[in-house]
Amino acid sequence: MINVASRAAVDGASWRGPLIRPLYASYCFANLPSAIERRLTGKGQTNLPPDTLAGLPERCDTVILFFIDAFGWRFFQRYRERYPFLRHFIDNGVVSTLTSMFPSTTAAHVTAIHTGFTPGQSGVYEWYQYEPTLDATILPLPFCLPTDKTRDTLSALGFAADKFFPATNIHQRLGAAGVDTFVVQPDHYSRDATGKALHGKAHAMDYKTLPEALVRLGEMLARQRGPAYYFLYYSDIDTLAHGYGPESDAVDAQADQFLITLERNFERLLGKRKDAIFILTADHGQVEVSPKTCIYMNEKLPASKRWLRTHANGETIWPSGSARDTFWHVRPEALDEATAAFCDLLKDKAVVVQTSELIEAGFFGPSVSQAFLSRVGNLTVLPFAGESVWWKVPGRLEQRFFGHHGGLTRQEMEIPMLACRL
């Protein structure tokens, strides 16, 4: 079944013309963790509309969530008639359209799916973030500085991941309710500082290939003795879409391999549990961009440097976010002047808005924490489809992607939620 109510709600979420706003009160990724907890424990409330899980058990002993990085609604639409795996949900389950949270970025959504916190609540919202306690720009997910070649280097500086990420998570809450949790991820993700902070109470299972992951997941289901939640993360579509663009042959080939692998191995999961729900979703989609057309503000608007805040050593604080959603750390007394100049330069390329307006309108969630306020820039640039805006530091900070995300275009913000009974 195609959930037409969800499609209509997302179609009606327009903001500033071609952009859309996140639907935190209804059809939004942010509501998945609470919905999963409620199905497994019978406790708590969720804003996820009931029609997204229509016909499925109100209480179940097993939930399997496949989190497919960058598998936006455009990909479901492209492949829905070509692959029986996707047709299975149309014929035997529910296919809904959700919005991503904002920013439409993996850092925000990985944090949210493991904690239940929106970007405004968690303070984790993008790939590049300014961290005031370090007076440095950091990369939250690999937990390192932008110039570092390895992950987890912030730990060596005495900056603990369990102090940066939210203190509670879904695995702790489910464990307290008697539900085992399992996190199935590529082998370079599961045991780093970020993983330990976000899902350290879960059973971690590393994998090198998707078929391996599906085989082992089937084995775990067969051995399951009590209520359980399984989370699987897959990143290859996102990686190739960044490098080649979302409409590229490389992405099409990767999606083909992914969907055929699921199709051929899905039966390994079927019938293993009597009351089990399977959900497949994404954190965001991607939109086409080009390194050749990126607007570097320090080149196009040299005066911008004098408006920006500086580190203690006098160097300019880089913008946070990405080339699809830049958050500029502007000196408060220069904010209006910078806003006007950015608007004038980017009037046909992007929406320029002071971040306080987005906060008040609930774009980061219904509430924001002090951690978020201390980290986010006070001026936001949201490029239209095909555009990118960034800051250039040769060899260190450049826009090299052909597909990207983080902003509010439909290509970035619309995601599928596929649900069925196993």
Whether the CB-CB separation of 418 and 280 falls below 8 Å is answered with: yes
Output the pLDDT for position 271. Answer: 67
The stretches of 304-390 forming alpha helices (DSSP H) are 304-307, 335-346, 355-360, 370-375
Q: Which CATH superfamily is domain 4-102+162-286+412-421 in?
A: Alkaline Phosphatase, subunit A (3.40.720.10)
Q: Domain-by-domain residue ranges, the chain?
A: 4-102+162-286+412-421
CB count, 10 Å around CB of 208?
10
Whole-number Å distance between alpha carbons of 73 and 411: 8
Question: Model's pTM, two decimal places?
Answer: 0.96
Amino acid at 7: R
Residue that is written with structure tokens 């986010």 in the block: 376
CA distance linking residue 75 with residue 404, whole number of Å: 15
pLDDT tens, per residue, the chain with 422 residues: 999 999 999 999 999 999 999 999 999 999 999 999 999 999 999 999 999 999 999 999 999 999 999 999 999 999 999 999 999 999 999 999 999 999 999 999 999 999 999 999 999 999 999 999 999 999 999 999 999 988 889 988 889 998 899 999 999 999 999 999 999 998 777 678 898 899 988 899 999 999 999 999 989 998 999 999 999 999 999 999 999 999 999 999 999 999 999 999 887 777 667 789 999 999 999 999 999 999 999 999 999 999 999 999 999 999 999 999 999 999 999 999 999 999 999 999 999 999 999 999 999 999 999 999 999 999 999 999 999 999 999 988 999 999 999 999 999 999 999 999 98
State the amino acid at position 170 in one-letter form: I
Question: Which pLDDT does position 314 carry in this prediction?
Answer: 96
Greatest C-alpha distance within the chain: 64
Query: What is the reported pLDDT for 149?
Result: 87
Q: How many CB atoms lie within 10 A of CB 89?
A: 23
Q: For position 190, what pLDDT does the model report?
A: 63
